[in-house]
């Protein structure tokens, strides 16, 4: 199985801007990518990165106020060693091109988003073992966080409610769809409220990064739970 | 297995106030309860309701502006026929009393929240089949949406980040814990944004209620997905 992990470090995780600086967002995004790579490797596959430009691990000079908490050298080395396809088109076009390009080499391909900080080998194994010519792990909010494609007649469309669109595209091509019911795969980390899920359920680099950056679980007097930063 | 479903129709789903009237919130909450009852019965169990006062299906006179879209008579009749325990204490105390009261009669008890509009027999079966003296289906935001208790040494504490607290309580009592990774069971419906999940992934009365009430999936020009009401 060929596993494509799209990733960009062009202004990554912009919806976390209220709580993280530019440098921090970039580091946190890379930490999540490492977690996804770990999970994929835990199932016994080597992921391929799909990036709009070669990753620059030195990091751009941002002139940013907050320096970040740093990325460990092992993580950087590991990411640098992964095969990568560079395609600067928007996500949908780049993924479809990668799928088209690979379908001769491997009849089973998967696309796993890079911000699934809760992904585990167990959760991915459930997705990879699901039947269907297309297997989908829906994301919270209508997205498609991971999918397996076993038929070249399928193409992706990540704009809007992609979960619904992917079901429609599969139905139009008469391709059976399996849906995987996983909170871990449904949790893409976009918003500040998602950080709570990483703190509560993560056990990888992304969670450690948040802890190192001073984030912790906090409860208000009303019993509502959130994150706060020391 | 004894399955307790706590429910209140005292100002239910108050965080949906921005989008639903009082009467509507009450109807929607009952529709979700019906979906949970359906899912439990689909696994072959009869749920027991745990309520602060006997349910009044005529509904209180609210003087509310919006009349609601109505509840079907079959649903009401079915809920009225379920066994119910009345306990007007707060949730934690009422559930612990119910668990204490039932542990002699049935060594395996479960507590399933009434707002799991995406619950299916398949998802509940995974929870019920999970090992552990305590099996937890975490809710998004740190809660505990469903749990199975196989040891009377465990007690619940629903205040705050109950998922973490329940793990701690189990660890302190030396009880192994299983965690079920289910997006369906993780999705309790509290906030307007949760309605999108019901529209996208539900197939029961709660989804039908939302559609009848005019809710639909909408996409903004930025690709972000949400719900809108006609």
Q: CATH assignment of A2-229, given 3.40.640.10, 3.90.550.10, 3.50.50.60, 3.40.50.720?
A: 3.90.550.10
Q: Is the pLDDT of residue A146 over 60?
A: yes
With bands split at pLDDT 50, 70 and 90, how would you rate the model's confidence at B67? low
Contact residues of B toward A, CB < 8 A:
122-123, 138, 140-143, 159-161, 163-164, 181-187, 193, 196-197, 200-201, 217, 219, 223-225
Phi then psi for residue A218, to 5 deg, are: -130, 150
Give the ipTM of the model, two decimals please.
0.94
Q: What is the dihedral of CA A31, A33, A38, A44, to 10 degrees?
A: -170
Q: How far is CA A161 from the centre of its chain?
A: 17
Distance between CA atoms of residues A15 and A3, nearest Å: 26
Which pLDDT tens digit goes with each residue over A11-53? 999 999 999 999 999 999 999 999 999 999 999 999 999 999 9
Answer whether A217 sits within 8 Å of B164, measured CB to CB. yes
With bands split at pLDDT 50, 70 and 90, how would you rate the model's confidence at B154? very high
Which pLDDT tens digit goes with each residue over B159-209? 889 999 999 999 999 999 999 999 999 999 999 999 999 999 999 999 999
Share of residues in chain A with pLDDT > 70 (%): 95
Report the candidate in B61, B54, B55, B66 with the shortest Cα–Cα distance to residue B30.
Answer: B55
The pLDDT score that the predictor gives to residue B55 is 87
Q: Is the pLDDT of residue A155 over 70?
A: yes
Mean pLDDT of B88-109: 96
Residue for token pair 């998967």: A110
Mean pLDDT of A192-209: 97
Residue in A116, A144, A161 to test binding to B, most B beta-carbons within 10 Å: A161
CB atoms under 10 Å from CB of A191, counted, come to: 16
Q: Collect all residues of chain A within an 8 Å Cβ-Cβ radius of residue B123.
A: 181
Share of residues in chain A with pLDDT > 90 (%): 83
Chain B: give the shortest CA distance to residue A65, in Å: 28
- Nearest CB among B163, B184, B193 relative to A200 is that of B163
Query: What ranges do the domains of chain A cover?
Result: 2-229
Q: Which residues contact B158 (CB under 8 A, 6 or more apart)?
A: B91, B92, B95, B143, B144
Report the candidate in A23, A20, A8, A11 with the shortest Cα–Cα distance to residue A63.
Answer: A23
Residue B181 token pair: 């990774």
Which pLDDT tens digit goes with each residue over A102-128? 989 999 999 999 999 999 999 999 999
From residue B149, alpha-carbon distances to A109, B43, B137, B155, B162 in Å are 40, 17, 12, 9, 15
Fold for domain B2-193?
A: Spore Coat Polysaccharide Biosynthesis Protein SpsA; Chain A (3.90.550)
Distance between CA atoms of residues A203 and A35, nearest Å: 9
**Residue of chain A with shortest Cα separation from B193:** A141
CB atoms under 10 Å from CB of B17, counted, come to: 13
The vertex-A68 CA angle with A141 and A56, nearest 5°, equals 80
CB atoms under 10 Å from CB of A81, counted, come to: 9
Q: Is the pLDDT of residue A222 over 80?
A: no
Strand B177-179 to strand B144-149: parallel, antiparallel, or no bridges (unpaired)? Answer: unpaired
With bands split at pLDDT 50, 70 and 90, how would you rate the model's confidence at A65? low
The pLDDT score that the predictor gives to residue B63 is 57
Q: Which residues contact B95 (CB under 8 A, 6 or more apart)?
A: B4, B6, B50, B111, B156, B158
């Amino acid at each position: 199985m060929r596993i494509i992990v799209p990733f960009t470090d062009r202004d990554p995780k912009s919806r976390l801007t209220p709580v993280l600086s530019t440098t921090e967002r970039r580091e946190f995004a890379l930490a999540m990518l490492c977690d996804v790579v770990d999970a994929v490797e835990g199932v016994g596959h080597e992921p391929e990165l799909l990036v709009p430009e070669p990753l620059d691990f030195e990091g751009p000079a941002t002139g940013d106020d907050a320096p970040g908490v740093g990325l460990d050298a092992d993580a950087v080395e590991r990411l640098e060693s992964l095969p990568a396809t560079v395609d600067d088109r928007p996500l949908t076009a780049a993924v479809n091109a990668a799928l088209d390009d690979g379908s001769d080499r491997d009849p089973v391909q998967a696309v796993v988003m890079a911000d699934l900080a809760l992904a585990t080998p167990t959760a991915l194994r459930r997705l990879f073992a699901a039947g269907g010519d297309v297997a989908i792990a829906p994301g919270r909010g209508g997205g498609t966080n991971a999918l397996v494609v076993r038929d070249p007649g399928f193409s992706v469309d990540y704009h809007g409610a992609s979960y619904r669109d992917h079901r429609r595209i599969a139905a139009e091509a008469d391709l059976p769809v399996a849906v995987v019911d996983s909170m871990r795969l449904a949790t893409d980390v976009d918003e500040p409220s998602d950080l709570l899920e990483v703190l509560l359920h993560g056990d990888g680099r992304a969670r450690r990064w948040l802890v190192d950056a001073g984030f912790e679980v906090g409860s208000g007097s009303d019993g509502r739970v959130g994150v706060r930063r020391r």
